[in-house]
Amino acid sequence: MQRYSVLFAVMLLPFWLHAQGVDFEHLSWGEALAKAKKEHKMVFLDAYTLWCGPCKLMVSNVFPDSSVGAYFNSHFVNLKMDMEHGDGIILAKKYGISIFPTLLFFDDAGNVQHRAPGFHGVKDLIGLAQAATDLQNNMAALEKRYAAGERTPEFLQKLTALKSAALDPEVHKIAQAYLKTQDNYSTPANMRFIMQYADDPFSDAFYYLIHNRAKFDSVYTKATVKDRLDQIFENYLQAHPKLQLGEVQRLYGTVYPEQGELLASSYRLTYYRKREDLERFVLSAVDHYARFPCDEPDELVEISKIFSEEVTDPAMLKQALEWVKSAIKIQEHYYAYETQANLYAKLDQKKAAIKSAKRAIELAEQNDEEALEAKALLEILEQ
């Protein structure tokens, strides 16, 4: 009877293995490649970190799934590796792994055949694995075809989608190659492609988007198009951290043609402020608010406050005084009067400074707040 029990257990072993989910093996990187070569399989690597939330979700909710285990255990030598310890540090550097989790598929020589970052549910993970085992159409295969000169529109669209899913920086180059094959950007498919992949604000495709904004707004909504433009702008700035002031101003004008001058002027203030170039900051501020009058009281008070604290030139202080007066006309607030009092004091207009400080204290008390700076100034002025 015991003999039959053992035989029955052996017969059921394949089903148990599949039911258990993905069988991650405790092997070194070299051992995994050797086993993959021996068994004619690929290596699957779950590149994770201990602090990664999506990584933990895949461990608890996805990898234990029997359907995932059935596919992965029969096609791959499966490895999990912490990218911040041991061999993981070396592999993260070698294969450019910086997003977690990153799911990678290798041939037995350690060449990446397919990859994708981020959480994948059961269905998406199986689809990813099936794409990886398609040796004619996985990422490595398409990259070889691209290197060999293939440039058909259908092929370039497919490669762009794969590169985008993998967050590969080369996606922009591939997308540009596709768009060069197109004579008509106005088709629904090409408009959709431009919205997804036209990340270079100085490209022909982006120029088309900007100059046909109304058409894109009608198809994708104004809010969606605006969000996309903001994303393109921010991504370009992050990818080009050494842009000079003039280049950033040009970028503003390109991405936001209707507001380019205003936004570029505002950026110029930020640029000089961060570099602690007070002289250019002050001159740029005066120029900015002369060309673009502001009706936001908080903004006017904030710029006036900076002047009251850091500027000594009477002419510039008087300009700040005009800004804070404009803010008070729009909305009375103790903070505005407090700033006004400081400006009057720096201009040696003691009576006006005392009056403004008292008004600041009065407004603060009405709102159960404390105008500490105004009280301190008033005490000095009344000595």
Give bridge partners of residue 81 from the DSSP assignment.
Answer: 47
Ramachandran quadrant class, 30 (left: phi over 0; alpha: psi -120 to 50; beta: rest): alpha
Planar angle of CA 127, 113, 92, nearest 5 degrees: 105
**Straight-line distance from the first to the last Cα atom of the chain, in angstroms, rounded to the nearest whole number:** 107
Question: Within a 13 Å sphere around the CA of 193, how many CA atoms are in the beta-carbon half?
Answer: 28
What are all long-range contacts of 25-29, with beta carbons under 8 Å and residues at least 24 apart?
25/77, 25/78, 25/79, 27/77, 27/79, 28/87, 29/79, 29/81, 29/87, 29/91, 29/110
Please tell me the pTM assigned to this model: 0.73
Contact between residue 269 and residue 284 where contact means Cβ atoms under 8 Å apart: yes
Measured CA to CA, the distance from residue 286 to residue 289 in angstroms comes to 6
Output the tens digit of pLDDT for each of the chain's 383 residues. Answer: 444 444 444 454 444 444 589 999 999 999 999 999 999 999 999 999 999 999 999 999 999 999 999 999 999 999 999 999 999 999 999 999 999 999 999 999 999 999 999 999 999 999 999 999 999 999 999 999 999 999 999 999 999 999 999 999 899 999 999 999 999 999 999 999 999 999 999 999 999 999 999 999 999 999 999 999 999 999 999 989 899 999 999 999 999 998 989 999 999 999 999 999 999 999 999 999 999 999 999 999 999 999 999 999 999 999 999 999 999 999 999 999 999 999 999 999 999 999 999 999 999 999 899 889 989 999 999 88
Task: List domains and CATH numbers for the chain.
Answer: 12-135 (3.40.30.10), 136-181 (no CATH), 185-241 (no CATH), 244-293 (no CATH), 295-381 (1.25.40.10)
Question: Residue for token digits 């970190």?
Answer: 49
- Please give the full DSSP string across 267-328, using - where no structure is assigned: HHHHHHHHTT-HHHHHHHHHHHHHHS----HHHHHHHHHHHHHH---HHHHHHHHHHHHHHH
Measured CA to CA, the distance from residue 193 to residue 187 in angstroms comes to 10
Contact partners, residue 182, CB within 8 Å, separation at least 6: 153, 190
